[in-house]
């Protein structure tokens, strides 16, 4: 039987904002309960940020802004994942509430999102 958590993970992978809203209508606290429940150990914001789903990222931040500071099983924030994959629009969405997210270092090597962008040779900001 498909659980709400499985459906949330699928919506995150697809960037399906409508599915996210439907799931939150079924359980308004779903994003608060999601810690560690996805098959890959990422929260929905990690998944959407890594895949470049800016609209989904925006909606998750609106519903549960605390998720922007959570680290996944590899010690990476959503901002680390977005920078590593070169998703400029997602990076800008994540930084809307404050640039202090730039100071969150990943756990293994202590790298900031900017370090990861340079390491991956990803251009992050274009004006």
* CATH number, domain containing residue 77: 1.25.40.20
Contacts of 98 (CB under 8 A, 6+ apart): none
pTM for the model stands at: 0.79
pLDDT number for residue 90: 92
Residue 54 lies in a domain: yes
Residue 19 lies in a domain: yes
Contacts of 2 (CB under 8 A, 6+ apart): none
Q: Percentage of the chain surpassing pLDDT 70?
A: 69
Report the number of distinct structural domains present in the chain: 1
Phi-psi region of 52 (alpha: psi -120 to 50; beta: other; left: phi over 0): left
Residue 115 has pLDDT above 60, yes or no: no
pLDDT number for residue 110: 60
- Dihedral sign, CA of 17, 19, 22, 23? negative
pLDDT number for residue 1: 32
Residue 96 lies in a domain: yes
Tell me which residue range forms the domain holding 36: 4-119
């Amino acid at each position: 039987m498909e659980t709400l958590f499985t459906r949330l993970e699928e919506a995150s992978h697809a960037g399906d904002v409508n599915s996210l809203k439907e799931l939150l209508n079924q359980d308004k606290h779903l994003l608060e309960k999601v810690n560690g429940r996805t098959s890959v150990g990422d929260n929905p914001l990690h998944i959407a940020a890594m895949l470049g789903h800016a609209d989904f990222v925006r909606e998750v931040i609106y519903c549960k802004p605390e998720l922007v500071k959570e680290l996944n099983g590899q010690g990476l924030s959503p901002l680390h994942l977005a920078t590593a994959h070169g998703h400029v629009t997602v990076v800008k969405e994540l930084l809307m509430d404050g640039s202090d997210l730039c100071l969150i270092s990943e756990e293994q090597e202590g790298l900031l999102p900017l370090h990861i962008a340079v390491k991956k040779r990803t251009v992050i900001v274009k004006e």
